[in-house]
Amino acid sequence: MITVTRPYFPERETFDRYVDSIFEGRWLTNHGPLEQELTRRLETYLGVENLLLVSNGTLALQIAYRALGIAQMPGQYESAEVITTPFTFIATASSLKWEGMQPVFTDIDPDTLCLDPARIESAITPRTRAIVPVHVFGNACDVEAIDALGEAHDLKVIYDGAHAFGVTYRGNSLLSHGDASTLSFHATKLFHSIEGGAIIFKRKEDLERARKLINFGITGPECIEELGINAKMNEFQAAMGLCVLDEIEGNLESRALVWHAYAQALRGNVQLQTRQTGASLNYAYFPIILESESMLLEVMQRLQQEGYLARRYFCPSLESLSFLGRPAAELQDEDVITPQIVHSTDIASRILCLPLYSGLEVSEILGAVRIIVNRHVKAA
């Protein structure tokens, strides 16, 4: 069975050498030497500063909210609002709700699949504290427009860059935009540390505050300065991250071959995501958008029968989840704005991600391509 993704496993001998160094140094966590090395190497590879490693990508978002002062603090009863996209993985929105904030969903651009800047401004209210856009499938948001909105309305901008590892925009790291950008290093990602994540801050002072937050607020043996949590990356995670980073170029090359084979065969047969001009590709995902949900379900079934497991990303559109909605008391507030969501709901019903991972051969995907192209021709 060819799955939609497969975790990248580096050379075992390389991983063993890093693990041997852990046993020799007897340092397992709390900013050990491998975590420090991975931090330095990622800053260099990504072309960023102020990078903080954490234990997973969801905590990366939550720590960013806290470090930037937008998370709802105990004793604040009126929900702070944060504008975000409904077309994303649940963690983008649930991390806001978990931190006491109200996600306010605005619609996406149906071509790029990213948050539409033209719809953001009308959703801003006196309660709005921040904007959390997502670089969907590694496709760059319109960062100039969104950053300008944040500046004009004195709002923090935190980019969820879970899919955007290594992506550049106009020659610089895409992750350098906004007040912060977050990454996920989950096992299924292009770059992973089994579990893990990172935050890239614009300002060093925000990085320094976040360092305290991920270690319970502790700053010394007998000093606890503020409310914190445990979000540190351990040495075994860092070891895996270093191994995967050692082999990242080969990983990208393998993915690129399959990505371009899909693009060449399917362009003109199905709708493809429109890539942001000036942004590089990292070959993390290959989404296709079919004509209808019924066609999608038929194609999925046929693919599975032939040994291909494709997956629906992101379904359902998050505005449909009641537990992410507003408290009943706020629904009575005539100042509450509920933006209309059309494109996200539509795209979520018709989008499918095809198998793509390092080691997958072009010859192995030809059957999937034939199924999709033949179904499109039949429909036409």
Per-residue pLDDT of the chain (380 residues; tens, 9 = 90+): 999 999 999 999 999 999 999 999 999 999 999 999 999 999 999 999 999 999 999 999 999 999 999 986 555 556 799 999 999 999 999 999 999 999 999 999 999 999 999 999 999 999 999 999 999 999 999 999 999 999 999 999 999 999 999 999 999 999 999 999 999 999 999 999 999 999 999 999 999 999 999 999 998 888 999 999 999 999 999 999 999 999 999 999 999 999 999 999 999 999 999 999 999 999 999 999 999 999 999 999 999 999 999 999 999 999 999 999 987 656 666 566 678 999 999 999 999 999 999 999 999 999 999 999 987 656 55
Give the pair of three-digit tokens for residue 252. Answer: 């990208």
Q: Break the chain into its structural domains and give their ranges.
A: 12-246, 248-379
Q: What are the C-alpha distances in Å from 273 to residues 202, 290, 349, 351? A: 29, 12, 15, 10
End-to-end CA distance of the chain: 29
CB 60 within 8 A of CB 132: no
CB 134 within 8 A of CB 141: yes
Distance of alpha carbon 288 from alpha carbon 305, whole angstroms: 19
Ramachandran region, residue 263 (left: φ > 0; alpha: ψ -120 to 50; beta: rest): alpha
Backbone angles phi, psi at 237, to 5 degrees: -60, -45
The matching CATH number, chosen from 3.90.1150.10, 1.10.3720.10, 3.40.50.10210, 3.20.20.150, for 248-379 is 3.90.1150.10
* The CATH number of domain 12-246 is 3.40.50.300: no
Distance of alpha carbon 139 from alpha carbon 133, whole angstroms: 11
Buried b (16+ CB within 10 A) or exposed e, 122-131: ebbeebbbbb
pTM: 0.95
Q: At what angle do helices 204-213 and 57-67 cross, to 10 degrees?
A: 120
Question: What single letter denotes the amino acid at residue 86?
Answer: P
